[in-house]
Structure 1
């Protein structure tokens, strides 16, 4: 009888040892997989909030630190457009989110707008720039600023070229609001509202200014290099970019500038330490892409309120 009990006990112990061994193996395998992403911060709600709100302390701008190859490439591209800009008072207005503001530029040099300014005006003062980028801005917030801030509306009235970056924070808001239970359809539904707001933005800009050439820069996928296995992120960004491209095509002298391939095809790191905004090199690549489009348009300088069919009132 005792021997039977002893066998039963030994059998139970053996089973526990096997279960324990399997558990240890599974745990070590899991830790091995996690170790592959040990340098990548997890996408948590705190990270999403940090991306939207955290202030990045910029370093002092030192032009010598900017890669010479990128600078020379941009200046070569602008030479073909100098004849269009020369002897004209061109006004370029940037408006939108943190990409227009230049967040992530470690030189605190104005992001891609600053690069355009320094490049176009490298030898002569050809164009004046005004920057109304604001970190965290979504399409609905940008509309409010256009309607309520007189400085912005007056600047848009007299602009010859308008550059817009907007939409990434609309996507991020969907992620933050539905973080616990996130589905592709939530992004699809919000994209419909995004399209409506982009239409409203362009319509209002045309009411303020019927001659400026408007450029809407596309959205890139900042998480692609860290989470390539999450295919939905790329699909969502592609969908929103197609919406932007289609919407701009419905307006005269409004152009969509794709940006996702600029980041997807880069061999160098183009992101700041927050893994979301471009670093200075990323902004240089953005500026190069924008210049490709700017050099293919004709600009009528000296745009004023009377020519645009707008008045400031008495």
Structure 2
């Protein structure tokens, strides 16, 4: 059975026990966190105050002619579904144009990686130097955590262990950010939120929405505690109701999908720079 079918069985079961405010609360919290970090693209024409400097402008004003961009995570980071290097390469090229600097991209994405895999990988030889030298670190991780459990244990066991998987993902994400910050206190951390690849007409769509809101809320709350940092709101442009426009297979975005994420990343980096 394909892994996507396993996942849908799990999500359907989760959706069956979902009700009331508990369903909507994660999205409410995410919306509040998004509002707090909304990009301000209007300019008054005057010299900006320090608090008005964007993340892009901060990178532009760093000393040196080059910037180092480290990308970590799974197949979405790798660029699956794109012939142009995926959203990471596309956004990297745009950052170079906006900062007038050469942005060296170090893509360390690994297909199928879970949050546990990434945490282990960060401790492998050579990764410390990569993290220390980075000016910006982009992360996409979490989508494989529950899927791999379903493939290994089956949907019933995965449902029983859902809270454990969720807690493990949260702990791993905190440990990932903490480890990065220990090695590099100043790099801009960019986290790409999970998007919903299920058609909105499917009966199990509400369950997938609930699960992804749970996962994304963890990501938003964790990211906000490790500034300077931003979250790419990719779900705003990869919508289930028009998934045929941006889907490559059952999960990954196609070329247009990656382009949309790249634009969202640049938009997020135009928000006011916040170090604390």
Report the TM-score, using the length of structure 2 for normalisation: 0.71
Q: Work out the CA distance in 1 between the residues paired with 2:170 and 2:274.
A: 27
Match of 1:144 among 98, 120, 126: 120
1:278 aligns with 2:237: no
Match of 1:205 among 180, 184, 190: 180
User: Which deviates more, 201-210 or 89-98?
Assistant: 89-98
Per the alignment, do residues 243 and 269 of structure 1 end up closer, same or farther by CA in structure 2, a change over 3 Å counting? same
**How many residues end up aligned between the 2 structures?**
224
What CA deviation, in whole Å up to 9, does each residue of 1:195-250 have, x standing for no partner? Answer: 00001101110111011111111111222447354421111111111111112222
Partner of 2:50: none
Q: Is the 8 A contact 2:181 2:226 kept in 1?
A: no
Cα RMSD of the aligned pairs, angstroms, is: 2.8
1:261 aligns with 2:241: no
Q: Work out the CA distance in 2 between the residues paired with 1:83 and 1:45.
A: 44
Match of 1:172 among 134, 142, 147: 147
1:219 aligns with 2:198: no
Partner of 1:90: 67
Q: Work out the CA distance in 2 between the residues paired with 1:118 and 1:250.
A: 28
Q: Work out the CA distance in 1 between the residues paired with 2:255 and 2:140.
A: 17
After TM superposition, which residue ranges in structure 1, 4 or more long, deviate above 6 angstroms? none
Shift of 1:83: 8.4
Q: Work out the CA distance in 1 between the residues paired with 2:68 and 2:162.
A: 36
Match of 1:156 among 131, 138, 146: 131
Aligned residue for 2:138, secondary structure, equals strand
Shift of 1:294: 1.4
Shift of 1:46: 5.8
Partner of 1:241: 216
Per the alignment, do residues 225 and 91 of structure 1 end up closer, same or farther by CA in structure 2, a change over 3 Å counting? same
Q: Is the 8 A contact 1:116 1:287 kept in 2?
A: yes
What CA deviation, in whole Å up to 9, does each residue of 1:122-154 have, x standing for no partner? Answer: 58544222111111111111111110131x321
Shift of 1:120: 2.9
Gaps of 5+ in 1: 1-43, 50-76, 301-314
Q: Work out the CA distance in 2 between the residues paired with 1:144 and 1:97.
A: 14
Report the TM-score, using the length of structure 1 for normalisation: 0.63
Larger Rg: 1
1:2-41 matches, cutoff 5 A: none
Shift of 1:192: 0.8
Shift of 1:265: 6.5
Q: Work out the CA distance in 2 between the residues paired with 1:135 and 1:229.
A: 26
1:129 aligns with 2:98: no
Aligned residue for 1:223, secondary structure, equals coil
Aligned residue for 2:247, secondary structure, equals coil
Aligned residue for 1:263, secondary structure, equals coil
Gaps of 5+ in 2: 7-40, 42-53
Aligned residue for 2:123, secondary structure, equals helix
